[in-house]
Structures are given as C-alpha cells and as structure tokens.
Chain A
Amino acid sequence: AQSVTQLDSQVPVFEEAPVELRCNYSSSVSVYLFWYVQYPNQGLQLLLKYLSGSTLVKGINGFEAEFNKSQTSFHLRKPSVHISDTAEYFCAVSVLWNNNDMRFGAGTRLTVKP
C-alpha cells in the first residue's frame, strides 16, 4: 500500500520568513497527492492537491507544493509566513484507482513566532 513520511514533526519559524515542510511518499503505482491544514480544535481543510500536469501546484493562503516524481517528494512551501499560519500540516497520498484509501503522514506542526 501507499505511504507517506513527513520528515519534520515540528518546524518553528519567525514571521515573514520562508518555510518548507517536507513530504516523501511511497507507492508502486501512480498517485494523487494532497496537503491538508488543521487549525487548533478544527477538522482538516484542503490546502492544495496534485492530480497531474504541472508539477508546481498552488493552493490557498499563498502555499505551493512541487511534485518531484524521481525523488518521490511533494514538499510544501510558502515564501513568507504569518502568525495565522501556525497549525498542523498533513501530507496525504491516494492511488489513482482508489481515492477512497487515503494515507496520511504523521503531520508537521508549524509554529510561527513574532
């Protein structure tokens, strides 16, 4: 089955600094890739998705991610973070023929400091 590894459990960063949250996936077949964000005491909200086509995907709140098939990575980036970006971020993968079976990474807690 497909799987996801998020390489950093916590990422502290100062406001207005750039940030990269790393995600690697494993699958023997083609996949869809997702990033979700979870604010405190809330459910998950879709940030962006990669289905096919351009490897650079833009999402909400100024985030973007780049799909790298050779490195099996899907890292999330933002050039300048805000305090309000403090949240937990989850990378997820599903195989093309069974979107119902989505596997999530363990999450990365992004803390933006003033």
Chain B
Amino acid sequence: NAGVTQTPKFQVLKTGQSMTLQCAQDMNHNSMYWYRQDPGMGLRLIYYSASEGTTDKGEVPNGYNVSRLNKREFSLRLESAAPSQTSVYFCASSSWSRDRGLAKNIQYFGAGTRLSVL
C-alpha cells in the first residue's frame, strides 16, 4: 500500500537549473497539494489541485509551476532554481468524506524531497 510516492528523494541543483518533482498517489484521491518545509516556518502551501484539471495557488507560489497530469499524478516544476528554493518539499493528497455527518478532507503526505540549490 504505497499511498503518496515522491521522486526523487534528494536533489542538488545549481542556480538557474530547472527540474520537476514528481508525485503520485494510489488512493484515488481527488485533491493533491505541494508544500515546502523550512526550519522554523512549518509547512507552507505552494499549489494545490482540488480535482483533475484544476490547479490553484497557495501561500507561496512564486517561482513554481504545477501540472495535474491525471488523477494520480501532480508534478511541481522549478523553471530557474534559486538558493531561496532550498527546502524540503512534500506532496499530499486527500478526498472529501463524511465523518459523523460532517464533510472532512484529511491530507496524507509523502516522505518528501530534499532539494538543495547552490
């Protein structure tokens, strides 16, 4: 039962290089998310996709693009990496369900991608 799978686990880039972080989930969830985690700042939402074919900006979208390739996959692209993008990136997925009559949307996280930009 894989859940949310992120690749790669580690990556080192030079300033100006581009790369794409991959995320796939096998839980048939509708929504997917990309976060970055920085020391002392918790997780901040970069982009999310509420359903296949839609994407929306989160709290810190600048410098990133996303693609919801299909229901399973949601990729994050850095077109021109900067040292400020050195971080740990987490992908998550969720779907709406009912819990005691309340609608809820619990997020499940991948193991993260540790990115360093030199």
Contacts and interface: CB of A to CB of B under 8 A. Distances in A.
Interface of A: 4, 6, 9, 32, 34, 36, 41-46, 49, 51-53, 90, 92, 94, 99-107
Contact of B104 (A4, A42, A44, A51): A51
Contacts of B42: 4, 6, 90, 104-107
Given A9-B40, A100-B31, A106-B41, A52 B90 contact: no
Contacts of B110: 43
Interface string B75-102: 0000000000000001010101001101
Interface string B38-82: 001111110010100000101100000000000000000000000
A79 to B, nearest CB: 26
Given A104-B42, A106-B42, A53 B100 contact: yes
Kindly name the residue among A43, A46, A102 whose own CB sees the greatest number of chain B CB atoms within 10 A: A43
A112 to B, nearest CB: 21
Nearest to B35: A104
Nearest to A107: B42
Interface of B: 4, 31, 33, 35, 40-45, 48, 50, 56, 58-59, 90, 92, 94, 96, 99-100, 102-112
B109 A102 contact: no
User: What 10 A-B pairs come out closest when comparing CB atoms?
Assistant: A99-B105, A43-B109, A104-B42, A104-B43, A44-B109, A106-B42, A43-B111, A51-B102, A43-B110, A100-B48
A4 B45 CA distance: 14
Contacts of A43: 4, 90, 109-112
A103 B107 CA distance: 12
